Structure 1
Amino acid sequence: MKRLLKALIFSNVLVAAGAGALTLGSGHLWGTPAGELAGLGALVFCATLAVYSLDRWVEGRGEDRLAGSVRHVWLQGHRRTMSALIGVGLIGAGLSLWWVRLETVLALIPPGMVSVGYSLPVLVWRSARLKDVPGFKTPATALVWAAVTCGLPLVESGAAVSPQVAAWLVGERTLFIYALTLPFDVRDLQSDRLGGVLTLAGRLGEARCFDIAQVAASVVVLSALLRGLCGVAFGQWATALASLAALGLLLAGKRRFAARRPPGELYYAGGLDGLILVQALLLLLG
């Protein structure tokens, strides 16, 4: 059971499932049955699996070679598995394109380019990856996730939603993912420094980084409740409840770091990443 749990976490299958499920959950907001968005959900799952596996597979700078990490040990022992997952993800994403509208495919190009550039050196400047750009790593992750899991379902469904409402919902999703992603910067603080990657955690420290994440999650809760008062109730309770759960996890994580007892991988992959699946299920059931 423990080996299976490690495989699900470190192989990126869990986070890819969260991305696919959240995409379907967002489509449910627009009144589109999950079955009609199955192609897009499969595309997002496969593309996420490929991109995240690529990031783990590529031998990067210091942050990818932190010795002693449980994650590092597992990845080093399963490089063939990661290679296979990249291939499966790419093939699956390619096949899924046949069931997705052309407009959606075109809308996927910008976040797709950012995702690939996140792991591969695409910048002329020092042959850098996008995540080597100071302060770019976490905001880029949040924006890409919001564009893919919230924006693409709107394009695919063709729902008649005003640009203002769409921007509001994408903004909420961005802040939600940002709140969940910042603790990963804290976890990777030392390894990012070794790799020359400057993140918010590296500038402000652990406690302030958790504080910012809590503020982001709190803003999402208030925004969702405000939407309800304004008559824009798309998934307001699912969003608010998932963000409240995030607040609890963030507070627990901050206390663990303050006590010099950093949480383990289960906190990040099972807790924070798991909240993505929780929000998706709440949206689908709402």
Structure 2
Amino acid sequence: MEPAVPAPPAPPAAAWRRALDAVLYSSVWLSVAALGLMWATFLFWGVHISVRLGGLIFAATLFLYNLDSVLPYKHGQLPGATRRKQWIRAHRPQLLALTVAAGAVAGGLYLTDARLRPLTLFGGHLALISMLYSMPLVRRQGRWWALRDLPLLKVFLIAYVWAAVTVWIPALYLGRAWASPVVLVLFARRFLLILALALVFDIRDYSKDRLTGTRTFPGLLGVGATKWLGLAALLGAALLVPAGVSAGHAVALVLPLALAAAVLWYAEESRPDYYFALLTDGVMVVQFVAVWLAVS
């Protein structure tokens, strides 16, 4: 028997694409975005972010978003043919291991930071919403329904949880009142930014949501009207500049909204997965980088 001939190494472009797929579809990039938005809030007050809190938010985001991918009931849903869904189906064992590891890290970081204990009740309700967002609760019409399936609710749930995690938790961690005017302004503009970005993903899922009976804004209003709704949210965010910030910081808060507007306006269901996983989520990373450059 002749010795087996080793397979030729993968071209550099293919290796880079596999690495990019792993970062995007394992929710690592999204977790970086969550960390970046929280860090931007700390930078607003000129305070260094807590390493434990930052690590907790990164790990918790990684845990919650990958949990959605490995839930057993997901196996019975329509498989879809997008690159993202194909990657997730092919890497479920690895995603399960990553989910368990991220959950363990998040739990360990929480238990070792005494400053997080007073936030248990507040953080707990955010964790509960996040868990129930995709968790099957009621079986109707032959399929499981979760919170996200309630008509028009999912974009508001996403915006609320992300704004609360990246604005209210840093404020409470630093001993600031969650209802103080400056904190409420930061929360409102973050809520409106995430709401607009969530509408982009509703546009992506337009056909799937119609097939599954999930009522979303594109299904109710149409894609065009949904884009105008998102632009209105971004305009509201642009007008909510906190009092007392420097001109450079104000520009850093507003300019990424223009990128978000462009991403929203050109969003189509037929766009490749990278448009959503890399570019749309990347708006949040750009927001952090802009603020970091403005205050450094």
Q: TM-score normalised to the size of structure 2?
A: 0.85
Counterpart of 2:150? 133
Counterpart of 2:54? 41
With 97-106 and 1-10 compared, the bigger mean Cα shift is at 97-106
Distance 2:107 2:147 in 1: 24
Asked if 2 retains the 8 angstrom alpha-carbon contact of 1:30 and 1:154, the reply is no
Asked if 2 retains the 8 angstrom alpha-carbon contact of 1:221 and 1:244, the reply is no
Deviation for aligned residue 1:8: 0.9
Name structure 1 gaps, 5 residues minimum: none
How do 1:42-191 and structure 2 match up within 5 A? 42-60=55-73, 64-97=77-110, 98-99=112-113, 100-122=115-137, 128-159=145-176, 163-191=180-208
| Cα pair distance change 1:2/1:101, threshold 3 Å | same
Asked if 1 retains the 8 angstrom alpha-carbon contact of 2:62 and 2:102, the reply is yes
Asked if 2 retains the 8 angstrom alpha-carbon contact of 1:63 and 1:192, the reply is no
Name structure 2 gaps, 5 residues minimum: 1-15
Deviation for aligned residue 1:112: 0.7
Deviation for aligned residue 1:163: 1.4
1:26 aligned onto 2:41: yes
Counterpart of 1:240? 254
Identity of aligned residues (%): 30
Distance 1:21 1:105 in 2: 22
Distance 2:176 2:276 in 1: 34
Deviation for aligned residue 1:222: 2.0
| Cα pair distance change 1:64/1:187, threshold 3 Å | farther
Deviation for aligned residue 1:195: 2.3
1:71-105: CA deviations, max 9, x gaps?
A: 11111100011101210110111011022421233
Corresponding residue SS for 1:101: helix
Counterpart of 1:4? 19
Distance 1:275 1:104 in 2: 28
Of residues 209, 215, 234, the one that matches 1:192 is 209
Letter of the 2:42 counterpart: G
Distance 2:250 2:178 in 1: 16
Deviation for aligned residue 1:162: 6.2
Bigger CA radius of gyration: 2
- Number of aligned pairs? 274
1:123-153: CA deviations, max 9, x gaps?
A: 6988631111111111100110000011101
Cα RMSD of the aligned pairs, angstroms, is 2.3
Q: TM-score normalised to the size of structure 1?
A: 0.88
Distance 1:280 1:63 in 2: 38
Distance 2:246 2:102 in 1: 35
Letter of the 1:241 counterpart: L
Counterpart of 1:282? 290
Letter of the 1:115 counterpart: S
Counterpart of 1:270? 278
Deviation for aligned residue 1:159: 3.9
Deviation for aligned residue 1:66: 3.7
